[in-house]
Amino acid sequence: MSDNLQLNPEGKLKHFLTIEGLNKSLLQEILDTAESFIGINDQQIKKVPLLRGKTIVNLFFENSTRTRTTFELAAKRLSADVLSMSISTSSTSKGESLLDTIRNLEAMFVDMFVVRHAISGAAHFIAQHTAPHISVINAGDGQHAHPTQAMLDMFTIRQIKKDFSRLRVAIIGDILHSRVARSEIQALNMLGVAEVRVIAPKTLLPAHVESLGVTVSHNLTEGLADIDVIIMLRLQKERMSSALLPSESEYFKCFGLTEDTLKNAKPDAIVMHPGPINRGVEIDSKVADGPQSVILKQVSNGIAIRMAIMAMAMQKQGSL
Amino acid sequence: MTQQIHIRQGRIIDPANDIDRIGCVYIADGKIISMTEEPVGFKPDIVIDAGNQIVCPGFIDLSARLREPGQSRKATFESETVAAASGGITTLCLQPDTIPVIDTTAVAELIKELAEKAQYPQIYPIAALTQKLEGNELSSMLSLKQAGCIAVGNAGQPVKNLLVLRRAMEYAASHDLLLMFQSNDYWLGNKGCAHEGAVATRYGLPSIPEAAETVALAQCLELAELTGCRVHFGQLSCKRSVIKIHQAKKYGLNVSADVAIHQLHLTENDMAPFDSAYHVLPPLRTEADKQYLRQGLAGGTLNSLCSDHQPHDIDAKLGAFPETEPGISALETLLPLMLKLVAQHVITLEMGIAALSSNPAQILRLKSGALTPGFSADVCVFDPELIWQVNSENWRSRGVNTPFWGQMLKGRVTHTLQAGKMIYCLKK
């Protein structure tokens, strides 16, 4: 089952939908390209003309502040024209209208869609049905993938830890509903980490989770042993009403990251979170704001990584 | 006076009569009149040369949807009966989830009218077990039976309240009605769209565990014993269901079961990323499930094969996977996919034909599914070696939603007769 939909015949990035089906050198190329963009953030004029004259449409069928903002900033720093649209899913009930939305925007000579959608597979669907010259970047689809978030986390990890091969990474929380977790697991394994460990109660783990290439722990204290990188996931409030968890407080007691539980990981372990964080639910404020936290660094890196992915996906058009 | 038809020198396979030989079939007045000697004064209007072909009873499909009434944009009786005939199907059971649901005699009558207008094949509606299939109140089963419904069923809609299910089964049993039950627990199904396994996990698809099927099946088996209702379990999808049916039969319960043909050929792993052609309910499961279903068919635990035909319009399959509608358009691939099981040595040809004719006839207590003299002349003649492509040139159903689209398949119906009338003939 290949995802070569993402690559053009020369193996260059055309769409960026999921980590699956890509390869290590491509991921490294993304990280290296992002590295070259990092300096731009510190310049007085934070712009490069790479995508001048290109039109990028941010299509957000699901609410997001951070992701949308960083995509918008990334596009603007590449000198593209950006249009951000928030489309409530209630107005687009079925695939037909999703397709119609896309067709209408295509007719306005768009070069790239950045898509967030509440349904798994939405970005694939759009990539399959959009005009051939248009690139699609997945900014999160249902519970499937959020590959740009995964890449910005890889970037952050590489900045601090340098070498992936010895790293043990723990992902803690609601793996079942997390597109971030799925993309992180694929990216970490592709970059060759020593271990990816998921830590969660069974109700928050998908069936056959080991098939994703992870080891499993249901106990935070034990699970954090020898861990270099901790990725916390956001816990949605509706998990309590759907009988997946008894209460926020019990969850925090078992799986909340505090200064105390953090001591079970390696002393130089870093703490990450894709945001937005629920203080006192999955993470204690002292850890979130503490010296081992790199949460805000992740946010700044989001701009560079999204610039890199947008620029690379446009490169396939031979126009750069 | 209807036509006299002589089917010449075909390999006759008639499992109910234990026949497998080269020979002729003589048909007059809509009935089979002889399988051995030419009747005196027989003057055939049509002679079908069946040399190198197989002659068998017309197929009986236990589960199909023709989309009328209510969804004629997807398909019509006219389009789908032609498709059925070209697939060798002479009798089919219509699931009750039409719009409106088959829960009143008026709807049953309407279906009868539509069927008569389309002329062929024989169509039997299945009555809804409960009103609107909502699982709250009983449908007027007896009236529906008298209006031509062959059984009662839930069309895959969960019956959440087991007391309602118990009473519905008791009531059905009082009128000697067969319950055609598709096991599906509403809560465990959790509005999923794919098998709860590695593939759904990788793609983040809302998933359905086997237990959604097996728990509902186990409950219904218990109630079958309690109520004495005859139950046929349709479209099983997993290993543990086969085991449960096997045990129930061994225990002496009056139950039967079928499997949709695609479940014997496809698994979750065959699905290209988010390809909605593979979106079916129950979902495609694992290789182990597929193998067990195959064994279940070979060993007789699963009595019959069905198409589980569900044609769709293009828009229904055009969207992100979870938002698309489930189902495969399957009447025309039923025979070649059965033959593929024979080629793969899963079953013998005779077993495959029995699973499509005499076995479902027995389940429905129909006087058909066999080439017995005196029976309605429902006959299928097919060329087991003919290779054809699933493409718009060959396809009759209005629904092109099949994962087999574009594939080359082996085995094709050349003639279909229903009540002695040629309802399909392959143009050469």
Nearest to B201 among A5, A129, A209 (CB): A209
Q: How far does Cα B389 stand from its chain's mean position?
A: 22
The H or E element that residue B310 is part of is none
Q: What local confidence, expressed as pLDDT, does residue A92 receive?
A: 54
Q: Please name the residue of chain A whose CA is at the shortest distance from the CA of residue B198.
A: A208
Average pLDDT over residues A76-92: 81
Would you place residue B308 in the very low, low, confident or very high pLDDT band (cuts 50, 70, 90)? very high
Candidate from A12-26, A234-248, B27-41, B213-227 with smallest mean pLDDT:
A234-248
- A34-58 pLDDT, tens digit per residue, is 999 988 877 777 788 899 999 999 9
Look at residue B1 and tell me whether its pLDDT is greater than 80: no
- B359-384 pLDDT, tens digit per residue, is 999 999 999 999 999 999 999 999 99
Q: How far does Cα A314 stand from its chain's mean position?
A: 20
Of A274, A262, A276, the closest CA to residue A298 belongs to A274
Answer yes or no: do A96 and B324 touch at CB < 8 A: no
Look at residue A320 and tell me whether its pLDDT is greater than 70: no
Q: How far apart are CA B352 and CA B342, in angstroms?
A: 7
Candidate from A108-112, B180-184, B205-209, B305-309 with smallest mean pLDDT:
A108-112
Closest CA–CA distance from residue B282 to any residue of chain A (Å): 17
Residue A238 contacts B where some CB pair is shorter than 8 Å? no
What percent of chain B has pLDDT above 90?
A: 96
Look at residue A97 and tell me whether its pLDDT is greater than 90: no
Average pLDDT over residues A80-85: 92
- A282-291 pLDDT, tens digit per residue, is 999 999 999 9
Decide if B289 is inside a domain.
yes
Mutation choice for B interface testing from A99, A205, A208 by most B CBs within 10 A = A208
For chain B, how many structural domains are there in total?
A: 1
- Active-site residue (options: A14, A116, A168, A182): A116
- Active-site residue (options: A67, A101, A148, A156): A67
Decide if B30 is inside a domain.
no
Q: How far apart are CA A70 and CA A85, in angstroms?
A: 14
Average pLDDT over residues B165-194: 96
Identify the three-state secondary structure at position A123: helix
Answer yes or no: do A141 and B318 touch at CB < 8 A: no
Answer yes or no: do B320 and A98 touch at CB < 8 A: yes
Residue A95 contacts B where some CB pair is shorter than 8 Å? yes
- The angle at the Cα of B21, spanning B18 to B25, to the nearest 5 degrees, equals 90
Q: What local confidence, expressed as pLDDT, does residue B2 receive?
A: 67
Look at residue A319 and tell me whether its pLDDT is greater than 50: no
Q: What local confidence, expressed as pLDDT, does residue B236 receive?
A: 98
The pTM for the full model equals 0.93
Q: How many residues does chain B have?
A: 428
Answer yes or no: do A121 and B273 touch at CB < 8 A: yes
Would you place residue A281 in the very low, low, confident or very high pLDDT band (cuts 50, 70, 90)? very high
Look at residue A1 and tell me whether its pLDDT is greater than 50: no
Is residue B124 within 8 Å of residue B95, measured between CB atoms?
A: no
Closest CA–CA distance from residue A144 to any residue of chain B (Å): 4
Active site residue A66: yes
| Distance set, CA A203 to CA A18, A171, A176, A243, A256 (Å) | 25, 15, 8, 9, 16
Look at residue A187 and tell me whether its pLDDT is greater than 50: yes
Q: Which residues pair with B387 in a beta bridge?
A: B410
Is residue A105 within 8 Å of residue A154, measured between CB atoms?
A: no
Alpha-helical runs (H) found in chain A: 24-38, 66-77, 95-106, 122-129, 147-161, 179-190, 220-223, 238-241, 248-255, 259-262, 285-288, 295-315
Residue B197 contacts A where some CB pair is shorter than 8 Å? yes
What percent of chain A has pLDDT above 70?
A: 95
Of B365, B296, B372, B407, the closest CA to residue B34 belongs to B372
Peptide bond into B100 cis (omega under 30): yes
Q: How far apart are CA B86 and CA B423, in angstroms?
A: 8
Look at residue A236 and tell me whether its pLDDT is greater than 50: yes
Structure-block tokens of residue A288: 């979130």
Q: How far apart are CA B150 and CA B93, in angstroms?
A: 8
Active site residue A146: yes
Residue A184 contacts B where some CB pair is shorter than 8 Å? no
Answer yes or no: do A1 and B203 touch at CB < 8 A: no
Residue A5 contacts B where some CB pair is shorter than 8 Å? yes
Q: How far apart are CA A153 and CA A156, in angstroms?
A: 5
Identify the three-state secondary structure at position B387: strand
Q: What local confidence, expressed as pLDDT, does residue A219 receive?
A: 97
Residue B262 lies in domain: 57-364
Q: Please name the residue of chain B whose CA is at the shortest distance from the CA of residue A20.
A: B202
Average pLDDT over residues A154-170: 97
Is residue B423 within 8 Å of residue B91, measured between CB atoms?
A: no
Look at residue A278 and tell me whether its pLDDT is greater than 60: yes
Candidate from A108-117, A263-272, B329-338 with smallest mean pLDDT:
A108-117
Instruction: Please state the ipTM of this predicted complex.
Output: 0.91
- The angle at the Cα of B370, spanning B364 to B375, to the nearest 5 degrees, equals 90
Of B157, B123, B154, B122, the closest CA to residue B141 belongs to B154
The H or E element that residue B163 is part of is helix B162-174
Q: How far apart are CA B361 and CA B268, in angstroms?
A: 32
Q: Is A147 exposed, middle or buried (0-12, 13-18, 19+ CB in 10 A)?
A: buried
Answer yes or no: do B320 and A117 touch at CB < 8 A: yes
Residues 203-232 of B with CB under 8 A from A: 203-207, 209
**Cβ contacts (< 8 Å) between A239 and chain B: which residues?**
none
- B47-96 pLDDT, tens digit per residue, is 999 999 999 999 999 999 999 999 999 999 999 999 999 999 999 999 99
Q: What local confidence, expressed as pLDDT, does residue A301 receive?
A: 93
Q: Classify B157 in phi/psi space as left (phi over 0), alpha (psi -120 to 50) or beta.
A: beta
Q: How far apart are CA B309 and CA B66, in angstroms?
A: 8
Q: Please name the residue of chain B whose CA is at the shortest distance from the CA of residue A210.
A: B198
Q: How far apart are CA A152 and CA A145, in angstroms?
A: 14
Of B305, B289, B307, B309, the closest CA to residue B297 belongs to B305
At B184, give phi and psi (nearest 5°): -165, 105
Residue appearing with tokens 């051995």: B36
Answer yes or no: do A121 and B318 touch at CB < 8 A: no
Q: What local confidence, expressed as pLDDT, does residue A91 receive?
A: 55
Residues contacting A185, CB < 8 A, separation 6+: A171, A196, A198, A212, A213, A214
Domains identified in chain A and CATH numbers: 4-146+300-315 (3.40.50.1370), 148-295 (3.40.50.1370)
Nearest to A94 among B197, B202, B319 (CB): B319
Decide if B51 is inside a domain.
no
Decide if B323 is inside a domain.
yes
Nearest to B319 among A98, A179, A209 (CB): A98
Q: What CATH number corresponds to the domain at position B120?
A: 3.20.20.140
Q: What local confidence, expressed as pLDDT, does residue A243 receive?
A: 84
**β-sheet with A270-272: strand ranges across:** A215-217, A195-199, A168-172, A229-232, A270-272
- B87-142 pLDDT, tens digit per residue, is 999 999 999 999 999 999 999 999 999 998 887 789 999 999 999 999 999 999 99
